[in-house]
Amino acid sequence: VLAAVVVVVVVVDVVVVVVVVAVVVAVVVVAVVEYSGSSSSSRVVVVVVVVVVVVVVVVVVVVVVLVAVVVVAVVVAKCCIVVVVEVVVVVEVEVVVVVVVVVVVVVVLAVVVVLVIIVLVEVVVVVVVVVVVVVVVVVVVVVVVVIIVVYADRTLYVIKF
């Protein structure tokens, strides 16, 4: 039961983050294209504002997911009379996921901002850069998820035996 809960938690986190990042990237691209006729400084301001808003949204979403998962873990523990330590493990894994996710999202958005500012005039280049960044993010998230699942599995093994 616990392993299943951990896997569901990780999958939900990844899906939420990927969706949010995709929306953010789309918004950034639209903002850049929309303001391509404006001065460079105003376009930079637009991109920076969009990215800041997105970072805040991502953090809020991830925290909400974390709270939901903790509540679910507690409910599962009460219903199934699971050992409290196992709930703690689920929460620990979730906290690790949250920290990694927030760090990755912030780093990626920072990179996107820098690249957008550097190649602001070339919208086509911006789109290519954004696509590359999204691919990199997905790969990083998958690797992180695999590492966390392995870590969680070993932790559960140690606790149960």
Give the residue among 56, 48, 32, 147 at the shortest CA–CA distance from 105.
56
Task: Give me 97's structure tokens.
Answer: 């996921």
Cα torsion angle, 49, 104, 71, 7, sign: positive
* pLDDT one-digit tens code per residue, 115-127: 666 655 555 555 6
Q: What pTM did the predictor assign?
A: 0.39
pLDDT over 60 at 44, yes or no: yes
131 pLDDT tier (thresholds 50, 70, 90): low
- Residue in the structure block whose two tokens are 């790969």: 139
CB atoms within 10 A of CB 17: 24
Give the per-residue pLDDT at 161: 42
Q: What are the residue boundaries of the structural domains of the chain, listed by start?
A: 50-161
* pLDDT tens digit sequence for 68-87: 666 666 666 666 655 555 55
Scanning the structure block, which residue is given the tokens 């093994």? Answer: 157
Angle CA 124–106–22, to nearest 5: 50
